[in-house]
Amino acid sequence: MATVTPDKVLDASGLNCPLPVLKTKKALEELQSGQILEVITTDPGAKADIPAFCSRTGHELIETVEEGGKIIFYLRKK
């Protein structure tokens, strides 16, 4: 279970590449620097895509949790 409290939650369940990353980018634009976004997805490709997005953009991937067929990412906006 995650130990992080998000400032915003994005449920991208049922969406496939590239939508989870695009929606993550848009959701992060709405946050202040240092705030945390929780991204919930069912797209297996997101396991590679979200960390790669963070590496490219400088946002911090705090934690990744897999439970019940969902992949949950916690990102801190740079």
Catalytic-labelled residue, pool 15, 17, 40, 62: 17
Q: Is 54 a catalytic residue?
A: no
Pairing of β 70-76 and β 8-12: unpaired
Q: Calculate Rg over the CA atoms of the chain.
A: 11
Residues counted in the chain: 78
**Residues forming the active site:** 17
